[in-house]
Structures are given as structure tokens and as C-alpha cells.
Structure 1
Amino acid sequence: MRIRPFRYNPSPEISVIEYASTLCCFLILILVITTGNFECLSCNMGYLNSVLQSSSQVHAEYGPVSGGGLSQNGKFSYGYASSPGKRSSMEDFYETRIDGVDGEIVGLFGVFDGHGGARAAEYVKQNLFSNLIRHPKFISDTKSAIADAYNHTDSEFLKSENNQNRDAGSTASTAILVGDRLLVANVGDSRAVICRGGNAFAVSRDHKPDQSDERQRIEDAGGFVMWAGTWRVGGVLAVSRAFGDRLLKQYVVADPEIQEEKIDSSLEFLILASDGLWDVVSNEVWESSHLTGTPESWRLWQW
């Protein structure tokens, strides 16, 4: 069931994260490309975890978690949180990696939302960034390296699934920092939202079957889109791009859309989150909450 989106109004009584965790399963990762906000991130991680624990309505195999980190060179910090909501299991995964490649400090961040089981999301978490870093053109032609890594990871996962009866899949929303460059790539409906100068906007596009270009691509490949509670590929899948989904692979591709963002003083933070959060929180919530990195603004989120 998809929950009607709403516009959250910051309130001292309840935070965005606390409200969302009572309604839905979600995973969120916030990246701050500066050192100034790390203290606010780290000091509030413990509180966020307690909020998630108290907000969970049922026992979950994968309970609420939160954490964060800071790059060794102090250039960027990040925080993450997940909640199974009312679900008994969790199919969302995240990955963060800070590494050195050819003399460059690189940061890799991803949110992976599984469907049909957790296998695809877990496989992508474990392999996508390793495949990307090993790509011979990772530094010299990062965009093509990202596209190749997405498709190679998808191909290798499908090979590993030959003997499986169920057909698992996963979305992906990733942010890759290479030197002074920030690249955002996605397949599916796990969204990336950026905030510049107090204004929040999506830097990724949700891949849905009813989008005219996606529908045309699917039909050109011999598939169809039909309404079954929502628009679905073959009447089954509600996203038009994903890892896995072997039975629909001819139509549901893992080709990422890639955007490059300028890193400057106007860039405040980047958010990657699964659709569970965006189903109940609009993009503009980040703007309306004035999340500027001050202690006052972070308290709106109870971090």
C-alpha cells in the first residue's frame, strides 16, 4: 500500500524521522560535504536510534539502526538511519565507503531498496562499489565507469540467481565523490535530493512505468504497462528500472541516470532515501525544515 504524500510542518512535538518511522519502512542517508555539521550529526545519532526503537510497532529481524562517519581528510561527513516501520523484516540496505584511488580520496554512498526478498539489494550493496573502484576508467571517465559498474553488477547478480525460484530485484541511489566532483546515479525510485542555499530539489528521477519515455522503451522492447493498483511493468513491477528481476529483465533495465553536481559553498547536503520515506515526506520538507547544520535545525529532525 502506498501512503499519501504530505507536507510535514516542523513541530517540537514530533520529528520527521519519528513520524515516518511509525508509518513506513525506510532507509535514509545524509551526506554533508563540509566539516562544520559533523558535530551535529554525531551528537544526535544516539537520540535518533532511541526514537526509532521506540517508534517500531512490531519486532523486526532487522531493527532500527543509525550511525555516521567522517572522512579522514575532514572533507565530508555522513549519517544514516533505517526503520522497518511495521514490517517484520527489512529489505533495504545502505553502503558507505571512503577509499583512495590513484591518489584521489573518494567517497561512495548508496541506498538499495529490495523487492521480492533481500537478495538483490544485499548483493548490490556488497558488489557495486567494488566493481566501480576496480573499473580502469573510474577516475578518468567516471560517468561511463558508473554505467558499466551498474550493468556489470546486474549481470553478475542474474548469473548467481540461476537456481533461485523467486525473482528478487533492487533499486539503487548512489552518490560518488571523486576529488571535487559529486556524481549521483540511480535506477528505480530511491530518490536523491540536494539542498542548495535553503532550497531542496530532486537530482534523480523516479523510474516509473507510466513515464512516457519509460513506457515507450518498455513497449519497444515487447513489454507492456498496465494498471494494477498502480502502473506496473507486465502488471507486476511498479518500477521500470532495477537490478535483478530476471523474468522482466528485457524491459526492466539497470541503466543508471547520472547527474553531476557542482561542489561549492551553496551545497548544504545531499539525501539518499528509499521510497518508503518519500511516500510520506515531500522533497520540500527539507527546505521547510531549514536544515542548515545548526543545532536548532538538526533538532527538528531529533538527530
Structure 2
Amino acid sequence: MSLFDDLPEPSVDSDESNKLEQSDDTPSASGIKSGSCVELFPIIYSVISRKGERPEMQDAHILMDDLMQLMCRGVSSEIGRVGYFGVFDGHGGSRASNFACKRLHQHIAARFPRGGIQQVEKDIKRVLYDSYKKTDEEFLREACQQRPHWRDGSTAATVLLVNNTLYIANLGDSKVVLARFVETPSTSESNHSNGNANNTDKSPVKNTKLSAICLTKDHNPMDYEERQRIQATGASVQNGRVNSILEVSRSFGDYQFKKQGVTCIPDVRKCQLTNDDQFY
């Protein structure tokens, strides 16, 4: 079983009678107790940003440890927490990144499944698809009302934290990386028979190292599937860019490329947090 798997295709069915299945992988008591009787890992978060050499900051970020406060309809008692974290790397200006930062989580909150954990598993991919699409449509509508049209675009990398499960969605080349301790096999020698160095026993010893695991897939125009979609519209991929201009094949905004295969549909993946995880 890999660290994270693509979610199953979303279902439009709703069954609020689904109940949370208990798992043997219950987090340690050092976690936070929720009303769902699930021990929640404590979450500590921070942010740093740098403008670099550009004349303006074109990137945006959002950190929300409690998205449930924005949900108009009730959330199942099986769900102890819903957090939301995102980074948006703007290009051509800051309007697309700022817009997505302000609006995307509102659409997710409005569409969040009403059922229990199993219902979330079934519906969350559709929720994220629809929320990304709605955010992009709203920005493009506003961008095209301007004279001249706004040409801003933005990548996105968002994490929806439901209990101890991460649902990761991304556009473009912004990444989500998980730091996890993993076991590395090694051997140790121990002497026996009154210290006889020729009589040694090599037994495995469990060592751990902190490993960086990327939870997102870059959307690069040079990727085969991305390139095929772009070229099917009559556009070209040259020098690793759409029509020699745009470096990513999926984004918010970029209205001038939306008819050339650049889409706002994210990749969606999930990852179950463990005691070995340090940060993401």
C-alpha cells in the first residue's frame, strides 16, 4: 500500500447512515480528543513568504485550523475537525492568487458533505473539483469584465484536514511535501563466546530517518498527458511552455489559455497522518 492513493471517483449519492469504522491504527493519547471519539494529532502551523526580486508580492496563503465555523449546514459528529491550508503562486499579477485565496475555501465549506466519514470519502473529490471550478469561473468572469482583460494566473496547493486525513488538491507546480520518519534497516555486531571477535552475531536494528515525500504531481506542459490535452486544442508546447509562454498546464485564471487546454481541474489525493509524521 502506498503512502497516498488517488481517491475513488466521486459519487453523487448521499447516505448519512454511514458510520465511522474503527481502526486499529488509533493515534496515541498525546493527541487531541474530539467529539468523534477519535484521537486527533495536534497541528502546529506557521508561514513565511518572500517577495523576491519582483516589484510586488504575487503569492498568497491561507491557514485555517477550523473550517467548520464557515459551514452553514451541520457536520456529522464523526468529524472532529476540518482544517484548511493553501498556497497560491501567482504569475502575471497578484489578482488571481488573492482571489483564489479568498474564495476557494468558502466554496469548499459550502459544499462539504453532510454525512459521516464514509460520505466524505465518497464525495470529497467532487467537492474539490466543483470548488476549484467555481472559483476559476468567478475569477474569469471578473477578469473578462475589465478593460484591458486581466491576464493574471495562479497555481494552487491546498490541504483539507479531516480528522487525521489529508485531502490534497493542486494546480500547476506548487507542492505539498510531507516529512515522515521511515525505518531504515541496518545491522549491528555483538560479540559472544567470551568476547571472541570471530564469533559475532549480526542482528537487524531499526533505525529511522526523516524522509521528504511529495504529495502532489506537477502539472507541466511537457508531461505526456498534459501535452496531449493542450495539443488537441491546436495549441503548441515549445520550450516547456504553452505557446512558448505559460510554464504550467493547470491554473486559476490565465483566461487567454483556457481554450488552449489549460484547465482548473486539480489532482486530488489523500494521505493518512501517522505518529511518524512531523510536518507538511
What is the RMSD computed on CA atoms of the aligned residues? Answer: 2.3
- 1:185 aligns with 169
Alpha-carbon offset, residue 138 of structure 1 = 7.0
For residues 194 and 216 of structure 1, the distance between their equivalents in structure 2, rounded to whole angstroms, comes to 30
Q: Is the 2:67–2:109 Cα contact (8 Å) retained in structure 1?
A: no
Distance 1:34 1:243, change over 3 A: farther
Say yes or no: does 1:245 pair with 2:245. Answer: no
SS in 2 for 1:189: coil
The structure whose Rg is larger is: 2
Alpha-carbon offset, residue 153 of structure 1 = 0.6
SS in 2 for 1:111: strand
Instruction: Please report the TM-score for the alignment, with normalisation by the length of structure 1.
Output: 0.62
Higher helix share: 1
Q: Which runs of 5+ in 2 are unaligned?
A: 1-26, 31-39, 182-209
Instruction: Please report the TM-score for the alignment, with normalisation by the length of structure 2.
Output: 0.67
Say yes or no: does 1:225 pair with 2:237. Answer: yes
Q: Is the 1:181–1:261 Cα contact (8 Å) retained in structure 2?
A: yes
Distance 1:81 1:235, change over 3 A: same
For residues 29 and 63 of structure 2, the distance between their equivalents in structure 1, rounded to whole angstroms, comes to 17
Alignment of 1:233-272 (within 5 A): 233-250=242-259, 251-270=261-280
Alpha-carbon offset, residue 175 of structure 1 = 0.6
Distance 1:85 1:212, change over 3 A: same
Say yes or no: does 1:91 pair with 2:58. Answer: yes
For residues 138 and 170 of structure 1, the distance between their equivalents in structure 2, rounded to whole angstroms, comes to 30
Q: Which amino acid aligns with 1:167?
A: R
Alpha-carbon offset, residue 174 of structure 1 = 0.5
Alignment of 1:196-215 (within 5 A): 196-197=180-181, 198-215=210-227
For residues 262 and 86 of structure 2, the distance between their equivalents in structure 1, rounded to whole angstroms, comes to 20
Distance 1:259 1:163, change over 3 A: same
Is the deviation greater in 84-93 or in 234-243? 84-93
For residues 34 and 128 of structure 1, the distance between their equivalents in structure 2, rounded to whole angstroms, comes to 33
Percent of matched pairs sharing the same residue: 35
Distance 1:170 1:195, change over 3 A: same
Alpha-carbon offset, residue 183 of structure 1 = 0.9
> Which structure's relative contact order is higher, taking Cα pairs within 8 Å and 6+ residues apart?
1
